Amino acid sequence: MGIYDRSYYREDEQVLRTNSWDQRSMVSNLIIVNAALLLLNFLFTSRNNAITGFLALSPDSILSPIDFYRVLTFGFAHSPSSPFHLLFNMVSLYFLGPAVESKYGRWEFLRFYLIAVIVGGLLFCVRSWVQQSHNPVIGASGAVCAVSMLYVFCFPHAQLMLMGVVPVSAWVLGVIMVATNLTGNQGIGIDGEAQVAYDVHLAGIGFAAIYFYGGWNFGFLGNMWQSIIQRIRANRAGIKIHRPTATQPSDETRADTILDKIHRQGQDSLTAKERKFMEEYSRRVRQKRET
């Protein structure tokens, strides 16, 4: 069996097959969603950043169950006053994301991306509590850094054009990413003059390293989701889902197995449970013969 024939590399292409989005790469979908949210915020709420503020993550968000969603949504929010923030993230995703998506599959790529957003958000909250900071954070940079670093791990000798001009190997980009984020000055906010959340970037880089070298795969999450969907649909239709269980061997088969064990290893090799079964089985056989 080839590695790409294994279950965790075979994506469930039957899920939402009729949905037109299934015909588009996940990289394209992510770019569209991020751009659409920024455009909506710019067109309708640019004065108070209502959409961006609704999606932004503050350190206290995970202390309130009603705000848990922000641990994920902040990765899809960008400030209209700083469009280059979105542009840089999406350009990086556009050039490096497709190769990663092709290697791991579209649904695993999406799971990796979304979990990278959550990991970065949680680390941001922890760091903010330690430093007693109350500034919010927005942006896809952490997840994009995770995708970029995973590209570096998967294709270390691929040739890239740094800043569109300087040809370098992918591993050089990885070194630059780590160095610049380790030496950057921390500071975050949702306005155009906010500094970069380097800790979120480092969280994405670290997550990519653990994912790659740990040989992780989040396919089980897809299986869980499929099971939930099947149960919901079955409940709506009033159908009970049959979950086959492992069949127990018949008494005759079990007795033959134990007798073979006696023949090979002797009667003393039997366990107390096997002895009790054979006694009861022999008794049932005698009673059946007598009748």
Of 3.30.70.100, 3.40.50.970, 3.40.50.300, 1.20.1540.10, the CATH number of 3-233 is: 1.20.1540.10
Domain extent listing, the chain: 3-233, 251-290
What lies within 8 Å, CB to CB, of 122 at 6+ separation is 62, 71
Helices and strands (H, E) in the chain, number of each type = 11, 2
Mean pLDDT of the chain: 82
Residue 83: partners with Cβ closer than 8 Å, 6 or more residues away: 38
Question: Is residue 245 scored above 90 in pLDDT?
Answer: no
Look at residue 213 in the predicted model and tell me its pLDDT: 96
Q: Where are the beta strands (DSSP E) in the chain?
A: 159-162, 166-169
pLDDT, tens digit, 9 for 90 and up, residues 177-211? 999 999 875 544 443 344 678 899 999 999 999 99
Comparing C-alpha atoms, which of 40, 168, 146, 50 is closest to residue 89?
A: 146
- Other Cβ atoms less than 10 A from the Cβ of 158: the count is 15
pLDDT of residue 6: 42
pLDDT band at 132 (very low <50, low <70, confident <90, very high): confident
For 48-52, 61-65, 139-143, 168-172, which range has the lowest pLDDT when averaged over its residues? 48-52
Mean pLDDT throughout 135-142? Answer: 92
32 or 262: which leads in pLDDT: 32
Q: Which has more confidence, 223 or 76?
A: 76
- Read off the pLDDT of residues 87-119 as tens digits, 9 standing for 90 and up: 999 999 999 999 999 999 999 999 999 999 999
Q: Write out the two tokens for 115.
A: 């979990």
Averaged pLDDT for residues 254-267: 76
Looking at residue 228, what is its pLDDT? 83
Q: pTM of the predicted model, to two decimals?
A: 0.70
- Candidates 167, 174, 168; CA nearest to 152 is 174
259 vs 288, which has greater pLDDT?
259
Q: What angle do CA 149, 39, 114 make, to 5 degrees?
A: 30
Q: What is the pLDDT of residues 7-30, one digit of tens each?
A: 444 444 333 333 444 467 999 999
Backbone angles phi, psi at 97, to 5 degrees: -65, -45
The kind and range of the H/E element at 281 are helix 272-290
